[in-house]
Amino acid sequence: MDTETLGDVAATASQMSMWDLVWASDMVTKVVMIGLIAASVWSWAIIFEKLGTLRQVKQRSTKFEEKFWSGGSLDRLYDSIGNHPNDPMAAMFVAAMREWKRTNILKSKTDRGLRGVSLQQRIEKSMTVSMDKELDELDTRMGFLASTGSVAPLVGLFGTVWGIINSFNGIASTQSNSLAAMAPGIAEALFTTAFGLIAAIPAVVAYNKISSDIDRYAKRLENFMAEFSSILSREIDDTAIKADMAGE
């Protein structure tokens, strides 16, 4: 390798900082890199927001469960929460109690059993609807993480192919296979690959973890719904028995 070639190599190497490569790249590569950086930034914003929301929701649900199982009056707990539950579990409780209070099972003795079954079904339905609504809210923007995790490597691969094409174009235009001719295109290819992985890996890991946390929390809500439904079912039966005794 002659002195001139070595000088070109040294000059090229000295200029191969990340930002120099980004700004020296062509428009297609810039768009790919900027798009991947934007996707990564937005992914991290979603990750921090979801982790914070889940932590807050779990803490509030734990506090609600402590109040619920403390042995106090359910009516007083309902009145204290009002129309502004601050976690999904409390929202399910409010929906069930609202349905409970809306129906008076003592109005008729003849259809008391059917009314009890109907009330039980309506309560369970109201809790299910409330749970689904709250879980849908927790799932908001999770699709972006899934899409970023699957699409970003492909976008980075496109940038890689484009950078290699530029590298061959550089060789063809300079009629030289020296590092000075190949380096810019190869560097663009490597950087777009790196940006694709930087965007995809955290998105995939976070999506799996957050989805797992949401699934566990959903199971917790389902257990609460089953337990609370059993409590209300006993209340319905007790009320029916009292009505029978009063009618005798």
Question: What CA–CA distance (Å, rounded) separates 101 from 107?
Answer: 13
Q: Is pLDDT of 53 > 70? A: yes
The DSSP line for 71-134 is T--HHHHHHHHTT--SSHHHHHHHHHHHHHHH--TTS-STTHHHHHHHHHHHHHHHHHHHHHHH
At 175 the pLDDT is 66
| Least confidently predicted of 5-9, 119-123, 151-155, 206-210 | 5-9
Q: Is the pTM of this model over 0.85?
A: no
Express each pLDDT in 146-187 by its tens digit. Answer: 999 999 999 999 988 887 887 777 677 766 666 555 666 677
| Domains: count for the chain | 1
Can you say whether the dihedral through the CA atoms of 46, 51, 55, 61 is positive or negative?
positive
* Residue 65 belongs to domain spanning: 3-247
Confidence at residue 114, expressed as pLDDT on a 0 to 100 scale: 46
